[in-house]
Amino acid sequence: MSVGLNVIETTWLLLGILFFLAVSIHTISLYLPYECEKFQAFILFQDLIRYGKTKKSKRDTWLRVFDIPKRWFWHFYAVSVLWNGLLVVVSLRAIQWDEPYPPWLTDTLSFLAGSSATHGQAPHVCSVAVQVLVWIHCLRRLAECLYVSVFSDGVIHVVQYVFGLGYYILLGLTVLCWDRNTEGKGCMVSLEGPVPPVLTQLGVVQAAGVLLFAWASLLQHRSLITLAHLRTGASGAVETLAHRVPSGGWFELVSCPHYLAELLIYASLSLVSGGVSLTWWLVVLYVLFNQMLAALLCHQFYRSKFESYPQHRKALIPFIL
């Protein structure tokens, strides 16, 4: 690769470019003549980028064949909890007992990272910290999908479903690929004697990342509770599946604070990794355009459905976008 990117970095860069193009094409399409909406390519594109409430109410029968319930979102997080939990255990065993990674994992990382492991080198503590935070994030999102969110009869495309499952598997591998290629100054776990506490090996940047992670997670959780309360009564029982205008908290600034929180969570993981990892900033770049697209579609839905929707609200980033 002439630009010096390995397979995993190239993958995230391409995903970022793909979603940037999706945002750009969708934005341009808003100014195209109405007749363009009848083109099959345009219809398919819109169907692939939309899900849930932003899906068109009137869709061709052949498109509905690929529909999967949106409530199956919990599958993504269940897979992630199991997969990333396994990788955390593998890393901890490597730290505690100097146990090598399984051959299948070593070969996979060698292909994705473009380098071989250094014999006897345990995972960096920053890498393990990122792994644990990813696992905590997905465990929380799994619990929210099962016990907090109130899903309607919204759907997602089967392509989105398969992509979501593969995404969290790739994310876990990305952490280990970054770990293999980084020098990890100040983050190396010593193999001699007892394993030192993680927090004593993290610097100011990593500590800031952990604090941002905690705050963004709380913001996302509160935002999801607000959305759930729009459909439940005082007793907690579901009263309606209709869409209503959310208000309060960060909903006064943006239509999708839960998407903003997702972006901040990934930015915090980049800080925990040290803040200088190209690999992780490419992941953040992808998440930026991914959440931007979802937020813009959601924002446009609110503004088209509710005439009194606050005009000062932005889609994703307060006062900017």
pLDDT of residue 60: 82
User: Please, what is the average pLDDT of the chain?
Assistant: 87
200 or 232: which leads in pLDDT: 232
Distance CA 221, CA 241 (A): 20
* Residue 131 scores a pLDDT above 70: yes
Helix, strand, coil % over all residues of the chain, rounded to 5? 65, 5, 30
In tens, the pLDDT along 217-250 reads 999 999 999 999 998 887 778 888 888 999 999 9
Model confidence at 191, in pLDDT bands (50, 70, 90)? very low
Q: Give the mean model confidence (pLDDT) for residues 129-154.
A: 93
Model confidence at 190, in pLDDT bands (50, 70, 90)? very low
pLDDT of residue 2: 41
Report the half-sphere exposure of 185 (CA within 13 A, side-chain side): 4
pLDDT of residue 80: 96
Distance CA 120, CA 300 (A): 53
The two structure tokens encoding residue 156 = 């997602």
Residues 6+ apart with CB under 8 A from 308: 245
Say how many residues make up the chain.
321
| Short-list 18, 72, 65, 71, CA closest to 45 | 18
pLDDT of residue 187: 57
The two structure tokens encoding residue 267 = 């930015």
171: left (phi over 0), alpha (psi -120 to 50) or beta: alpha
In tens, the pLDDT along 244-268 reads 999 999 999 999 999 999 999 999 9
Buried/exposed 222-243: b ≥16 CB within 10 Å, e otherwise: bbbebbbbebeeeeeeeeeeeb
- What's the predicted TM-score (pTM) here? 0.90
Q: Which residue ranges make up each domain of the chain?
A: 7-305
Q: Give the mean model confidence (pLDDT) for residues 40-45.
A: 88
In tens, the pLDDT along 63-95 reads 888 999 999 999 999 999 999 999 999 999 888
Q: Give the mean model confidence (pLDDT) for residues 18-26.
A: 95
* Residue 293 scores a pLDDT above 60: yes
Model confidence at 188, in pLDDT bands (50, 70, 90)? very low
